[in-house]
Amino acid sequence: MVSAQTSKRRSESGSRPPDGDTAATKQPRRHSEAGFLFQNAQAASKHQDLDPMEKLKTGIIGTGKVGHLHATALTELPESEFTAVCNVNFKGAQAFAEQYRVKAYADVEDMVAGGVQAVTVCTPHPLHAGPTIKAARAGAHVIVEKPLASSLADCDAMIRAAKEARVKLAMISQRRLYAPVQRIKKAIEDHKLGQPILGTVNMLGWRDQAYYQSNAWRGTWLGEGGGVLVNQAPHQLDILQWFLGPIDQLFGCWANLNHPYIEVEDTAAAIIRFKNGALGNILVSNSLNPALYGKVAVHGSSGASVGVQTDGGAMFIAGMSNITEPPINDLWKIPGEEGLLESWQQEDTAFFQSIDPTRYYHQLQIQDFLQAILEDRDPMMPGEEGQKTVELFTAIYRSQRDNRVVPFPLVPETDRTDLDGRLTAASAESSVWSPAERRRM
Ligand SMILES: NC(=O)c1ccc[n+]([C@@H]2O[C@H](COP(=O)([O-])OP(=O)(O)OC[C@H]3O[C@@H](n4cnc5c(N)ncnc54)[C@H](O)[C@@H]3O)[C@@H](O)[C@H]2O)c1
């Protein structure tokens, strides 16, 4: 499976990055609940001794901040032979390629034609679709950074292209792999809550001016695709709908409350009715300084409640900061299990200290994607699953634009060009800052 050309290139350049400080050098502590948790980590040994001929040749599209997490994963995983990177800014690709000793490309199709079989897409959100479709049509399997895209039309086009090309399409949503998140999913599946009847997301974080100025695309409708809903909250939105199931209808609103120097929303809220009759609410914001937390809680018909704090304190910004606080269950009121909370918190804290959490979960999920290709099965998070979060935030934008409850499922609006209301005059009015004040900033 490894072409002669690639073998030669690798033997000329070597295959290890110069950076010897790898997550793999730390030995993670084991969690007590074997089996359900970290199935992927256990499965890793299955592919540990892959013949180089059996490894997948891998590449990265978009060589910015999060690209380095992907590069580390693709360098370390036994299923991967990391061979190439691609960036429209070829100089950027070259500098990155040099660091990891792989080949640089400016064009996705050229990279895939060079032998790459699986790619990760790490470009800004409105630019997820183009490279994904090109890579799929050229024959490569694709895993895309979150969210799948910034519009439903892009999601449809990506999923269609992957299906037509018969390649796998997956999306990164690494917080699903957190032990406290998996515990809740399992408790729901084991009917320990009765039926889930209430779900809440509270993601109250902070992003400052330096963050928004770190790339020209940030804070702009066309460059970022949206604000807190599109960039920071997708993890918690994904987890909420993973726990409670398909949405029936939603009413939402959004605003820019304290970031006059950006176009996009820094805050959003929504009320949801799920198809199973459960109710939910969402409150997400980048406006709390210092950042507080990201939390998802579920309450059941039995009266039991469970919750996870996925993020605590200053939030992780790839390339700018690390994860500072362990994900923990902050609520566990299942009769007979209340006493587990403290020991789980200790266990999760010890586990967190035994790994590099910034890299560990990305690596697990990219590994699942590569194993899905090798085993010809669905990845843990297929494109269709990623589309659900895009549908959720699209509904919040449309709900505010039309001032109405939005029924699900949603379809792309082919007759409109206002990006679900993000580009209308109303979006400027959603800033509490007047245009004059904004200009003064
Ligand atoms: N899962 C997570 O926790 C997590 C964390 C951070 C970022 N992300 C996601 O990763 C993605 C990238 O974020 P980032 O912070 O690394 O951004 P970044 O600006 O640092 O990097 C983006 C890179 O894409 C390149 N690029 C732009 N258009 C391209 C194209 N058409 N083809 C190839 N390359 C192109 C840019 O030159 C740049 O190198 C976003 O989707 C973001 O939401 C996810």
Residue 223 confidence (pLDDT): 95
Q: Is 65's pLDDT higher than 70?
A: yes
88 CB within 6 A, ligand 1: yes
pLDDT of residue 34: 36
What count of other Cβ atoms lies within 10 Å of the Cβ of residue 45?
9
Residue nearest to atom 19 of ligand 1 (CA): 64
pTM: 0.90
The arithmetic mean of pLDDT across residues 184-192, rounded, is 97
Q: Which CATH homologous superfamily contains domain 179-338+383-441?
A: Dihydrodipicolinate Reductase; domain 2 (3.30.360.10)
**Helical H segments across 24-178, by residue range:** 39-43, 65-76, 90-100, 108-113, 129-137, 152-165
Per-residue pLDDT, averaged over 286-296, amounts to 95
* Cβ of 231 below 6 Å from ligand 1: yes
Domain ranges of the chain: 4-14+32-171+375-379, 179-338+383-441
Q: Ligand 1 test: best mutation among 96, 123, 316, most atoms within 8 Å of CB? A: 123
| Domain 4-14+32-171+375-379 bears CATH identifier 3.40.50.720 | yes
pLDDT for res 322: 75
C-alpha distances in angstroms, 10 versus 16, 74, 100, 102, 395? 10, 14, 11, 8, 47
**C-alpha–C-alpha distance, residues 169 and 160, integer Å:** 10
Q: Among the atoms of ligand 1, which is closest to the Cα of residue 230? A: 43
Cβ of residue 66 lying under 6 Å from some atom of ligand 1: yes
Span 114-150, pLDDT tens digits? 999 999 999 999 999 999 999 999 999 999 999 999 9
Residue 320 has what pLDDT? Answer: 72
* Count, residues in the chain: 441
Q: For the CA atoms of the chain, what is the radius of gyration?
A: 22
What is each CA distance from 357 to 145, 185, 362, 378, 409, in whole angstroms? 17, 21, 9, 25, 35
Question: Is the C-beta atom of 226 inside 6 A of ligand 1?
Answer: no
Which candidate, 147, 150, 119, places its Cα nearest to that of 132? Answer: 119
Query: Measured between alpha carbons, how far is 311 from 294 in angstroms, rounded to an integer?
Result: 5
pLDDT digits 0-9 by tens, 4-46: 333 333 333 333 333 333 444 455 665 555 334 444 444 445 6
Q: What pLDDT is attached to residue 46? A: 62
Expressed in angstroms and rounded, the spacing between residue 142 Cα and the centre of ligand 1 is: 15
pLDDT at 430 over 90: no
Q: Do residues 310 and 295 make contact, with C-beta atoms less than 8 angstroms apart?
A: yes
Cα gap 295→20, rounded to integer Å: 35
Is the CB of residue 230 less than 8 Å from the CB of residue 146? Answer: no
